[in-house]
Structure 1
Amino acid sequence: MLSEQSLELIDLVAQLGSFTAAATHLNKVPSAVSYAIKQIEDEIGVVLFERHHRSVSLTPAGVHFVEESRELLKSIFRLKRRTLQAANGWQPSLAIALDCVVRADRVAYLIRDFYQRFDDVELKIRKENFNGVWEALVNGRCDVAIGATSTIPVGGPFLSKSMGKVVWSLVMSPAHPLAHISEPITDQALLPYPAVCLSDTSWQFVPRSFAAAPNQRQIQVPDWVQAINVLRSGLGIGWVPRHLAKSFIESGSLIEKEMVSPLPASDCALLWNSRQQSPAQQWVLEYLGDGLQLRTHWID
């Protein structure tokens, strides 16, 4: 049976072009190298080298064999390395879920710095909304979740780090009929107008939404970009994280209205599976920093 050592020997002879040179490199006698090569040729039933007076050269079959065997040697090397890495906690990929409330502009920096640090681990970024973040963590679709809101009693080996609270603003277009009401608005006053809400990405957990009032008609969209576009068009009203609505409020394309019963601020957290402590995950957790850094980079 062909061995790794056999493939390496053929590759060495092919590079040096001589049994004698290969023997010198291996601290062996030339006859031992010549005999080993002949055994390999007999095993596969193909002549790999043409013998000349003082050198050897690859036959066409030998050229093909060496090209294929070099790829095989690379695969063997990767197999050994990854097996050793797996024994030390290495994982081939790391999945991170981003809740809809976090700022998207930090993602590119995370990806850049991760790939500068790891050349053998794939980073998978997924967007989730509300309970979909918790479901992704529980079902193993992600290893780390940034910006999870509320609390679901999932149990299991999950750890968390507070990112502070997400403050919600009721916003609408300046052209919306409610925009001209000066006093604090009641829930009852919201009922005639559709509430723009994000769709919860959970398939198994009970979905959540931030409708402004019970039984209010909703316009469900996949993310805050779409939500803000719909709100600016005057098609509805909605609760938006204040840090995401701030620039639109300041520019005047959205206005914030005071409510008699405002939506409570939501706890926000970094979550991770403590059983998946790979070097890549540990690096990400250290990179994301403490609660203040998390809030500054992803919420504020």
Structure 2
Amino acid sequence: MFSYNDLKVIDVVARLGSFSGAAKEIHKVPSAISYTVRLMEERLSVNLFVRLHREVKLTTAGIYFVEQARDLLKQMDNIRLQTQRVANGWTKNVSIALDNVVRESRVSKMVGDFYRAFPDVELHLSMEVFNGVWDALADGRVDIAIGATTAIPVGGSFARRDMGSLAWKFVVSKNHALANIEHKLSVDQLIEYPAICLEDTSRTLPKRVTWLMDNQRRIMVPNWYSALQCLRDALGICLVPSHIAIPFIQSGELVEKQLQQPPQLSPCCLAWNTETISPAMQWILDYLGDGQQLHQEWLC
């Protein structure tokens, strides 16, 4: 019903209070301004302005219309801006999946630095376990995954960057029956106690378990916080990422024990969807750095 220019004319006339003043600012002749206002009043079947000798004043209906017109102008300006941003690779948000093994203390600094660099882009974070990271990538729920296993279980347009290997420690509560045994623990000794296992968050990919012996009972938990609670209460046994276990070993709450079959290192990687690259996403990939930086900041 009204063009952007029509609304702009009404806005300027209302602000300056005269056709001649509006004509000067918009670089048109006063008669063109007067004609636009009269045409809009005819379309609305109301008078927007009271014409005085050298000025115009808004009617009650005019005051309402100008308020609405200014809101519309802001919306139209915003649509134009956002459309240009999309054309230049701008995205509304970037989604990141964090594997439950990574160092969570690093997250807040990354978020703060990102929001300073991109004040108009949202960062969406989720926590996944094992194959849940790749499941989120394959399903398009996230753009980037930090701490994914290097064995890629899905096909698609994904790239990765090595993060080095995650080390594990076998720990038990200081009050657990295994805490005072000095020799390396055998499978027969371990199988007597429930294994504390994190539930794989994968929705479609096969679920994985990092450490479990044949016919051993399980305690399934959602995250390492719950696993540590069970460990400290001597409810079960499990392998824990070294960087998570060390503070509890140092405090004496948990005791590290040696196994006859030592745990293997777990190679990890940074992975991302190459089809959703945007300036904000590229900034994150550059910010996270090379493999050495990733290992030091997220797995140690």
Partner residue in 1 for 2:211:
211
Divergent runs of 4+, >6 A: none
1:131 aligns with 2:131: yes
Partner residue in 2 for 1:174:
174
Mapped contact 1:157–1:274 kept (Cα < 8 A): yes
Partner residue in 1 for 2:258:
258
CA distance in structure 1 between the partners assigned to 2:140 and 2:46 by the alignment: 49
CA distance in structure 2 between the partners assigned to 1:200 and 1:52 by the alignment: 75
Question: Helix, strand or coil: the match of 1:235?
Answer: coil
Unaligned runs of 5+ in 2: none
Mapped contact 2:184–2:257 kept (Cα < 8 A): yes
CA distance in structure 2 between the partners assigned to 1:127 and 1:105 by the alignment: 13
CA distance in structure 2 between the partners assigned to 1:166 and 1:289 by the alignment: 18
Mapped contact 2:150–2:162 kept (Cα < 8 A): no
Distance apart, 1:150 and its partner CA: 4.7
Q: How large is the Cα RMSD of the aligned pairs?
A: 1.3
Partner residue in 1 for 2:165:
165
1:299 aligns with 2:299: yes
CA distance in structure 2 between the partners assigned to 1:155 and 1:216 by the alignment: 33
Partner residue in 2 for 1:3:
3
Q: Which amino acid aligns with 1:143?
A: D
More displaced 10-residue stretch of structure 1: 36-45 or 211-220? 211-220
Mapped contact 1:211–1:218 kept (Cα < 8 A): no
Q: Which amino acid aligns with 1:180?
A: N
Mapped contact 1:100–1:224 kept (Cα < 8 A): yes
Question: Helix, strand or coil: the match of 2:269?
Answer: strand
Partner residue in 2 for 1:188:
188
Question: Helix, strand or coil: the match of 2:277?
Answer: coil
CA distance in structure 2 between the partners assigned to 1:228 and 1:156 by the alignment: 36
Cα deviation, 1:192-217, whole Å, max 9, x if unaligned, reads: 21111111111111111123422211
Mapped contact 2:134–2:153 kept (Cα < 8 A): no
More displaced 10-residue stretch of structure 1: 127-136 or 191-200? 191-200
TM-score normalised by L of structure 2: 0.96
Question: Helix, strand or coil: the match of 2:145?
Answer: strand
1:118 aligns with 2:135: no
CA distance in structure 1 between the partners assigned to 2:243 and 2:126 by the alignment: 21
Mapped contact 2:169–2:256 kept (Cα < 8 A): yes
Cα deviation, 1:104-129, whole Å, max 9, x if unaligned, reads: 11111111111111122111011111
Partner residue in 1 for 2:84:
84
Mapped contact 1:187–1:212 kept (Cα < 8 A): no
Distance apart, 1:28 and its partner CA: 2.1
Question: Helix, strand or coil: the match of 1:203?
Answer: coil
CA distance in structure 2 between the partners assigned to 1:55 and 1:176 by the alignment: 89
Count of paired positions: 300
Cα deviation, 1:133-171, whole Å, max 9, x if unaligned, reads: 000001000000011125133121100111100111111
Partner residue in 2 for 1:270:
270
Question: Helix, strand or coil: the match of 1:244?
Answer: helix
Question: Helix, strand or coil: the match of 2:240?
Answer: strand
TM-score normalised by L of structure 1: 0.96
Structural mapping, 1:28-107, within 5 Å:
28-107=28-107
More displaced 10-residue stretch of structure 1: 242-251 or 27-36? 27-36
CA distance in structure 1 between the partners assigned to 2:41 and 2:127 by the alignment: 55
Partner residue in 1 for 2:155:
155
1:244 aligns with 2:244: yes
Q: Which amino acid aligns with 2:179?
A: A
CA distance in structure 2 between the partners assigned to 1:109 and 1:67 by the alignment: 42
Question: Helix, strand or coil: the match of 2:53?
Answer: coil
Question: Helix, strand or coil: the match of 1:177?
Answer: coil
Question: Helix, strand or coil: the match of 2:276?
Answer: coil
Q: Which amino acid aligns with 1:134?
A: W
CA distance in structure 1 between the partners assigned to 2:167 and 2:148 by the alignment: 14
Partner residue in 2 for 1:227:
227
Aligned pair in 2 of structure 1 residues 47, 215: CA closer, same or farther (>3 Å)? farther
Percent identity, aligned pairs only, is 49
